[in-house]
Amino acid sequence: MTAFEPTDGISFKTYWRHMWTPFLLFFRIPAVAFVGIEYSLMMCWVAILATTQPILFAAPPYNFSSVGVGNINIAPFIGAVVGAIYGGPLNDYYVVYMARRRAGIYDPELRLHMLLAPLIVCPLGLFLYGISIANEQPWIVPCIGSSFVGFGIGSVTSIILPYYGDSYREVWLLSLHFTDLATSWSLIISQLVAEGLVVITFIRNVVSTGISFAINPWMTGLGVQNMFISTGCLCFGTMVFIIPMMIWGRKARSSTADYYLSAVAAG
């Protein structure tokens, strides 16, 4: 065991500043808060499906074997693949098309337009999954529901992370206190994107871990049907924030540009 020593050339003051700066970004930059919340909740739905499937499908009336329970994951996997295509290449084509229609003007919020589909599909999948199991519907029905949830997870995560990376692109180009544009680009990316991803990942891990411990008491207290009704409502209630981000996201980015530049200048 050895005593902790900061990297050569980096003081303790700089080290601790980089420890708390990511959390300031969460409260000061809307894109970080938005992506952190949405991304962490998408991981919650992964945890809920993974935890409830062995419990619900191994019990009557399904009585699936361990292999059968494992095969249930094929449905959300297919949904996630379709969602990743929808939120990845198709989303890229969409924003290029919209930018051309707007005389070459691109706003990161254009990416959020395609979140309107998972805004409906993902909560619907949670409702369908839980209510169908509670009412002992054929196994294909909850599988359709879980595939909808998988679509939501794949599409939302594929859209919001590029949105976050693009959100301050114009601020990167306005950073004039560096003489070399390539140096400016790399240093600014390392400040906002890397530190923002730190807090996004932290929130994701905290929320995912917490929900893993809460699922069994939650399901026992409310019952399967009511639990998934509340889960679907929570999913819709948090995803609906994409609408104000679509409308006012550009204004929010402009209002926080000064803070962002000062954070970058502080190193």
Q: 90-134: per-residue pLDDT in tens?
A: 999 999 999 999 988 899 999 999 999 999 999 999 999 999 999
Gyration radius from the chain CA atoms: 21
pLDDT tens, position by position, 26-35: 888 888 889 9
Calculate ∠ Cα 261-266-267, nearest 5°. Answer: 100
> Considering the domain boundaries, does residue 182 fall inside one?
yes
**What is the 8-class DSSP label of residue 6?**
P
Could you tell me the CATH number of the domain that includes residue 97?
1.20.1250.20
- Position 257 pLDDT exceeds 80: no
Q: How many CB atoms lie within 10 A of CB 105?
A: 10
Task: Look at residue 200 and tell me if it is in a domain.
Answer: yes
- Could you tell me if residue 92 is inside a domain? yes
Q: How many domains does the chain have?
A: 1
pLDDT, tens digit, 9 for 90 and up, residues 169-185: 544 444 334 344 444 44
Q: What pTM did the predictor assign?
A: 0.84
Closest alpha carbon to 134 in 219, 70, 232:
219
Residue 234 has pLDDT above 50, yes or no: yes
Q: Would 16 be classed as within a structural domain?
A: no
C-alpha to C-alpha distance for 142 and 126, rounded to whole angstroms: 9
Phi, psi of 21 (to 5 degrees): -60, -40
- What residues make up the domain containing 43? 28-266
Look at residue 12 and tell me if it is in a domain: no
Task: Average the pLDDT over 138-143 and give the result.
Answer: 98
Query: For every residue of 195-246, which 3-state class applies, written as one string?
Result: HHHHHHHHHHHHHHHHHHHHHHHHHHHHCHHHHHHHHHHHHHHHHCCHHHHH
Residue 13 falls inside a structural domain:
no
Residue 49 in any domain: the answer is yes
Does 221 fall in a domain?
A: yes
